[in-house]
Structure 1
Amino acid sequence: MSDRPVTGRADAARPAGTSCRHGPVPHTKTAVPAVPATSLARETLVAALDDAVAHRPVTMVCAPAGYGKTSLLAGWVAANGPGTAWVSADRRDNEPQRLFCTLARAIRRHRRVPDGNGLHGWCRRGGDAVGSVAAFVDAVEELPWRIVLVLDDVHEISDPSVWHGIETVIRYQPANLRLVLSSRADPPLPLARLRLRGDLAELRAGDLRFAEPEADALLRRAGVTLDAGQLTRLVERTAGWAAGLRMAARSLRRDPDRSDLLDEFAANERSVAAFLVEEVLAGVSEGTGELLRAISVCAEVSPRLAAALSGRPDAGSVLADLEREGAFVARIGTQEPRYRLHPMLRCFLYGDLRRHRPDDVGRLHATAAAGLAGEGLVSEALDEAAQCDDAALLGRLLVRYGPALLLRGAGDAVHRALETADRDPCLRGDPHLSLVAAVAHLQSGRPGPADVAASVPADVGVDGVLRTLLRSALALSRGGEPADVCDAARVGRPELQAWAWLNRGWIALTDRRVDPAREALRTAERLATEHGLYGILAHVEPAQGAAAWLAGDYGAAAAAHEARDRGTEPGPDVSLVLHRLVGAFFELVRAEPDAARRSIGAAAGVDLTGHPVLAYLVEVVTGTAGMDGGDRAAGLLRLRRARMALGATPVPAQVAAVGAVAEAGGAVSAGDDSGAREAADWLRERVGPSAEVALIRAWTAGVPVGVPGADGAGDPAVLPMLTEVHGRVHDIGLALSAERRTHAFELLHAALRAAEPIHLIRPFVVADPRIARLLVEHAGGFGSLEPFGLAIRHAVLGAGRSAGDGGVRLTSREREVLGHLAAMRSLEELAAALGVSVNTVKTHVRSVYAKLGVHTRRGALAEARQRGLVDVPAGDVRVPHPRRMRHADLDAAHDATDG
């Protein structure tokens, strides 16, 4: 306090003979307002206030009228106890002595002030303003307890001397004083300095807005229940404004037609109009009101667009002032400012504009459309143009910007504008617009109407490259002959250049030239990413997934498919089929046949008459999913018929290998070795000697496969990862049959390592059931591959067995023994814990093993954990690596001490 103005004690600072120059302080100014019964306790905000007041000298709650500032603070004060004083500021407080008299009285009212403190007799005090403020600070500092002082509605104070006094209190604020200021706009205080020092906590309009759960609770308290869609619309239209929600609740109780009311609530509801006129518009000049009406045609405006709409060069400055004053104007962005009216204020002003100046509405929309297009906000410009009376402007904007918007994945505005244009006789049938409409239909997966536009003659001046690309896309979607753009690299506009490279990639794929296809698609992806062409990416990514899959690059195929799943799915055309096929392939190899069937079913409406290879793949996936889903005979028959239907049609090696391996595997499982050999012969005719042919023949002959294609040994693999895992799993079964369990464990570890990158589970699921038992018995012995091993066990054995007793009935004593086994105790320790002999423990252990169908402690614990009978982490079942064992039999080594 050493740098405080020196005035001494308050009594010494008052000159003799002075008296208070203002009237008595009304009781209501220092009374905490009553909280309405319908108010909602906002626990998150109350907690934020608690934290702010506990850690910051000054807290500011700043939001426009009706955001619930006073109700929030009143509820918080009511819960905060007698240490909080309240003052409701008004215009009479524009005099320092009166305000500080009110503050002193508020503190005395809410807590007993010790006799002799300077806050007593304050209203009879005179003297200069600086001395009064210093005396007030001294008096508060002497209080033996902390005081929280809430000053509500400080926007009513405009006198600079009063604000100087408040700033002085903040500058020399005693440690036992906390100030809470509530205002509609930022007060004239050094807020930046307070923020920099960490002395200011703030709650603003964004914090006070009601989210949907709070809005729902508020409406229900008022007796109104809305469905989810209605609630979302209301919160969007009110922007979570508390007053708007309360007024809507009153109207919704009266009006049974909620749909119409929600759409026109702000424009027609009298209570809203009265509030906005009295609380928001009453403080602005007539010229400013006209500016706000003019810009209400736009969701948001730049200063330049506001000037064009209103005819006022200073429109940007006016909006900046309104934003600082909290007049329901929000600034969007920092570098290039844009301004947005509160949704309800905008709706009210636009409704007022339509009622009183209808002839200006179309002109303002046209001005807005031209201005937004000039600023690069083309979607917004199209929406504005659709509402103006200038058909020619709408047509020009659609032709100039429509294709680019569609290829950027922002086609909603284009579709809305095209619907408007189709209703206008001046635009209906225009060939330029027909081409835009054709692209829109193609992007949305409805290529039918595009035929008309694709045949538009060249002499109408329509973009030739766009027409060529459109015709090629239509041909590709229907199995026709696509057309290439001669030099894709020289196409001028980036969206057409990216489309041209995509088209070139598709053409290469249809010609089974996988490497050129992948190169062209990479170029298309780069251009689409650089220029934000998400509509192009929606088609590039499934094509990349298909190309990677055809190249045997399953990692890249999976990544492309997952990236596509995070975006918008392409329409019902060949692109969708390829996307679904790649997805179904990965669902199959991950042992999810039902999901694979659903994926293919979603593309069932696509005509594949001109795409026999795709049609074959669809049948392969569907048949394999049927076999894996339990209908082996029907699935196998479907695979055979699909292979025969191909005839002499050339197919990529990878496609042939996938079909042949799936068919042969099903045939072997059904005991039809001759059918499997037939599939192998067909595959050899198509692709020549390969590891897949060797795999099928090993299946039928019951001989080891080894590692297909490894280190130049054997024939090369068409499907390297898939074939390797199938081969290793086959060899594991042979090792188990030969009682070579250590070798089988080594093979299993290698198979898991090869399969884990793409979660390749199916080969384990369709294999010898003893492999699943090996996975269970050696649970915990696979290191970082253990989670993948657990996923395989769940797929093989069924995750549902982890509940209840897992189908095994153990006695209470056997359950107790199993628990001790999980704790890795020796048999002697277990016998001591149970108070029985070691032989009795061995009898219980053998009974547990028999019921679980295992022969080792590890197997018992793994099986018990799988069945939900014991809770032991996988890592706690310890198994040494086979190469570090001395015994040939892993189980015998581990269980020797168990007798």
Structure 2
Amino acid sequence: MSLESPAFARAKIQAPRLRPGLVERPRLEAALGRALVQQRVTLLQAPAGFGKTAALTRQLRQLPDGSALAWVSADEDDDVQRFLACLTAALEPFGLPWRVAPQALATLVQAERGLRRAADEIANVLAAAEVPHGLIVIDDVHRLADPQVLMLLEALVERLQPPWGLVLASRSEPDLSLARLRASDELAEFRQVDLRFDEQEVEALMAQAGYAAGRDRAAELLQRTDGWAVGLRLSLATLAAPLQGRATAQLQARRHLFDYLASEVLSQMPGELRDFLLRSSVLPELTAARCARLLQLPLASASRLLGELERRGLFVSALDDAELTLRLHDLVRDFLDDEFERRYPDELPVLLRRAAEDEPDLVRAVGWLARAGDWNEAARRMEEQGASLVGFGGISSLSHLLALFPQAQMASRPEMLLLRALVAFMKFEFETMRDSSVAAAREFERLGQPDRAVWANVMVGLAMESTGQVAQSAAHLAALPVAGLDAQVRALTAFSQAWAEFGNGRAENAPRYFETMLQVLEEKPDVALWSQVFFHSILTGVPGMRPLLERFDEGAMRLVRDVPCQLRAGVFNSKAWLAIGRGELQAAYEWSQKADEDTRWIGSQRSVLTETLMSRAMIEAVHGRSEAAWSAHAALMSDMQAAPPSNRLTHNYELVFTGARIAWLLGELDQLPRWEAELRAVKNSMEWPLAELDRQVCAGMLAASRGEYAEAARLLRTVALAPERSNFFIGGQSLWMLADVLARSGALDEAAEILRPWLDDGLAGRDVGAAILAGAEVLKRVLDQRWGSRMTPAQLGLVRRLADTLLRARAPERAKSVARPSLAPAANAAAISAGADYGLTERELEVLSRIAAGESNKLIARALDLSPFTVKRHVANILDKLAVSSRGQAAAAWRDLNN
């Protein structure tokens, strides 16, 4: 699924076209017009057919010039992710300065407090929009079945600021805090009593329809319909035919009245038009092309019949679109649906299947196929397109579609079971992932598809690694016959084996499997395949990994280029740690910032958030930024607490140990007892064997901080003198801490013997990140020792350079500020220099200059040959780096830079 392509029908975000011939309703229109301009929330709530949409459509045309209007028609299958996709697409024309990818909001809402965070993002970007007035209109709110959508709207209402307002049209009162809005006079309400026609309006309607509008006749019609707009129109359409003694009682219930009159109108239609309307009613929106394909008519015939429906105007509203598009009134569609199923029950499944054939919206298509009982085709569409929903915020929609399938249908469809396993993997629900993959493998074997069974078993092995079976996972994966299978199977197998070896404390084997994976990936430069194996920075420091990581990162960047995604965020994290390994701390910080920016832009998916926050916390600590380091670590711990139990139990120890490493780097040694105790407390049977190594090092840190040098040396020695086995240079860091405590206790000969091989490797160009993570205090103490001939000048020179690098990185940052408060055709030298001070790249300066010149994102994209998505990302970066919130403020900052 393209990041730019909506996964829903565009008609959902198109406001209905103003129908010609509507009678004026001055009382209603004046009140509604005031509300739309002045109130935070406007609610139109009445039963179907009371003219909510018509009244709203007419009044929206009277909004002040330059007003922004975002329209969303709600549907029953709109979960919160799909709703957000519609809303952000409806807001797209207004060039809003998003700080996260609009498409990523669907992912963001799945995180802890995600609904409020998404509401914050929307409210903030609306507040920064440079429009005189703006409205978000949600039509048919009563259709919303996902309570999270209403919770999102509730949170958005709390945050919405002028000049924006929210308009809700619904048959029933939405589950929002309306009482609070009423009390604060921030709610305008238009209910049935306000929307129904009065006698003068009925007279005008009759006159327009060509009937004598006597007051008695108007009063009689008003009494019979209670001012119900649809009832009035239908009654006027049947006035020419006498009611022939039909009992008034039959007409008293509005739905009964509607059904009866609708059937009268339907029966009086020409047969061709009636059949066209009945059969095409399976579609929510009607166009000539779609109706022609559905009903297998000539395009000219479908166009003629559609035009006749629009002319009659009883059952449809026309949407604003280049192609004539009609939307059936929902009550009419319900009636037609019942009538069609009653008259032609055998045709309904045929038309539903045909409607699904060219429906780009997978949610609609699978829903129709499920209703038709065509599980084979529904499964085929899911297998063909379902994985495309995974990449960017479609997990909830996929879960909804998978839930449509009866268990018996799922159990016999291994591809669907694999899809469910994939969804579970992206949600870190590892038990579900494992169970679904096991069932898929069993079913593939039964169907005689051993290659696909192997693929399912690879997923089983990957799930085992995070459900307390990492030792069994290694044996399980090693037994799979993957040679000769497709690239996806071989690449993911090697990836899983690398992690199984690492998790089991055999990190020296990880490079072999990682290289096998890399060879397969390089044979198949497919970004979707590379994206499944994107997290790898934790392997930094393992002997032999540096050239493989550099190779992976280079290949991945050729594929993703300038598109923010989880693969690119993973590469940036890797580059940050490779820079630490080289002792390039400023570069590490900049790569970490880029990873953080991409992670936020794609909605802080847990699949990349854990890696990014862990890296960011450690690198902030390296630079001595205590508040920033602990803030990132708190976010890391908070997200883990919201994770499913299997993920939390398997990996919580890593995050707790990271807290101890941060405390050590910052010299906040009074924090160590807390982290050492918590690391012991979180011990459980599901965690990786590496956890005991981390506990040993943490206890060694605590002993060293207390001056218990012999105990510290005992705890650190095993880890320090073994090959690197854990993440981020922990073995090498232990070596430096061991040398430090030995030297402090007077064992200089042993300390020097430990350090010399490491220093010689460093002088030869190997990784020096371990010394960086040992911290400035350790390096200073090592330099202060009287080594005599135990160390060469070159070895001590390397220690001094590393200590100086750390001290420079920890120096206070130069303060930066930018005046908030005109056109510059290009950057002058001063602007380029000042822009660099704010971290603006050359490309961002180009984009900023065009923002200052008043160009829209689309114009900038065209001028610089960039995708609109990339331009949005540049705009977000510019606003963040300049610490401004709108394009206008950015333009003002640009002018200051040039001055």
What range is the shorter-chain TM-score in?
0.3 to 0.5
Q: Return the TM-score normalized by structure 2.
A: 0.45
Larger radius of gyration: 1
Q: Return the TM-score normalized by structure 1.
A: 0.45
Higher relative CO (CA 8 A, sep ≥ 6), structure 1 or 2? 2
